[in-house]
Amino acid sequence: MQRRFAIIGHRAPSSGKLNLNDLSGGSGRLDVLLRAVNSALFLSHGIRTDSHITLHLEGGPGPSRRIWFNGETLAGVRCDERSIAGQIKAILKRPAKPIGVFDQVTQGIFDTGGNLTTTLADWKREDVTLYVLDAEGEPIENIEKSERIGFILSDDRIFTGEEQKLMAHLPRISLGKKWLQGHSCITIVHHFLDKKD
């Protein structure tokens, strides 16, 4: 079962300089996204080849940008936040790619334009069964087994009204009544799906 995660960085920069010494402040809480990448992709001694994660960088300047980490082909990335941030820093120096153009920057890491609307459309075309992670949703035990399953989550902010409208038709899945941090949610989802595989 292929797992996909999409996380929205509402203030994460989509271009320009990135301060590796201030990932939680001046970098628009990029640290939240980096922890999500770590949880989505890395095992104790290896990479989850059945997992992908797409970061949505919405903080400008310029158009929104997506960075896609494909666990199936990913190589040459260490599992510490600063190392992953270094990869993103290099991408942000480059001109943004048009929507639909996936430029492989290093093995398994792709840069492209677009936002949540684009990702939802991409995943629908690829027959991904979609869920929104939401503490108010149905228990995770209610999800249907699927060849490709995708989960959408936010950074340290709640989904905007526009994002809520985009996802209004999607089922909501809860991991409990407490609002957990995104990377913890990803770990729990992996644990649940690992038991079902």
State the pLDDT at residue 138: 94
State the pLDDT at residue 153: 96
State the pLDDT at residue 15: 93
Three-state DSSP string of 77-118: CCCCHHHHHHHHHHHHCCCCCCCCCCEEEECCEEEEECCHHH
* Chain mean position to CA 123: 13
State the pLDDT at residue 73: 96
3-class DSSP state of 177: coil
Residue keyed to tokens 């799906």: 193
Cβ atoms of 57 and 13 within 8 Å: the answer is yes
* Residue range 10-47, pLDDT digits in tens: 999 999 888 888 888 888 899 999 999 999 999 988 99
Closest CA to 5 of 192, 131, 113, 122: 131
Which two structure tokens, joined as six digits, stand for 123? 């995943």
Nearest-5° angle of CA 162, CA 175, CA 110?
A: 55
State the pLDDT at residue 20: 86
State the pLDDT at residue 25: 80
* Residue range 46-82, pLDDT digits in tens: 999 999 999 999 999 999 999 999 999 999 888 888 8
State the pLDDT at residue 22: 83
State the pLDDT at residue 61: 92
Quick check: 197 pLDDT over 80? no
What domains can you pick out in the chain, each with its CATH number?
2-196 (3.40.1280.10)
* Residue range 79-130, pLDDT digits in tens: 888 889 999 999 999 998 899 899 999 999 999 999 999 999 999 999 999 9
Phi-psi region of 16 (alpha: psi -120 to 50; beta: other; left: phi over 0): left
| Beta pairing partners, 132 | 152, 172
State the pLDDT at residue 69: 97
